[in-house]
Amino acid sequence: MTQSEPAPAAASDEATPPFRRMSERFRGYLPVVVDVETGGFDWQKHALLELAAVPIDLDENGRFICGETCSAHFEPAPGLEIDPKSLEITGIRLDHPFRFAKQEKEGLDHVFAAVRAAVRKHNCQRAILVGHNAHFDLNFLNAAVARTNHKRNPFHPFSVFDTVTLGGVAFGQTVLARAVQAAGIAWNGEEAHSAVYDAEKTAALFCTVANAWSDRVATPAVPGTQG
């Protein structure tokens, strides 16, 4: 009587989750919600003042959730302008003793390191910026990257996911505050126009719409399998 071959060990749940990994959902990109506060609307002449990033994560059931926020306040880069009307809207006090502003290169290093860690966690290729009027945020981010000659920008240089479109399709609302509230998410107008607050609310909106879409769309079959 010969011994039978041992059965192959079953893959652990950690190795083979019961849902698609993040790296399989967006062509290898990790959605990272970004919001900037600036000294005006022109990314070529107005200063970047705040940057917040919220990587999108997955819970134990494979649903989208907000990851850990990373942010930085910036000293205005030399030669750039600040429109006083922008400061009135954002409420930013450049001389606030607890602002703890960083030089542009240092601030980008801080935020980009957290984003790269999230990209590695999900085995993604790179990050893709998610924003409300996303190209506004991307243009300011790219301008700061160019000014500092930063070599480790984790974001795709021109592709974005825009929650203006998502909010318009899902709820008929394109203004962030209205789209967020239509999604059933609390909104405090007194806290708005902070990069951290707006990024976190935008991330919650993205997760709400993406999860609702996932609930309505069947998971594509893996090539080479049946059924």
Active site residues: 193
Q: Is 186 exposed, middle or buried (0-12, 13-18, 19+ CB in 10 A)?
A: exposed
Longest dimension (CA), the chain: 89
At residue 18's C-alpha, the angle toward residues 53 and 185, to 5°, is 40
Identify which of 129, 122, 159 has the alpha carbon closest to the alpha carbon of residue 22: 122
DSSP 8-state symbol, 131: E
DSSP 8-state symbol, 129: E
DSSP 8-state symbol, 102: B
Q: Which string of DSSP letters, residue by residue, matches 12-81? A: PTTTS-SS--GGGTSTTEEEEEEEEEESSS-TTTBPEEEEEEEEEEE-TTS-EEE---EEEEBPPPTT-B
Judge whether 65 and 205 are in contact, CB under 8 Å: no
64-66 and 70-73 beta bridge pairing? unpaired
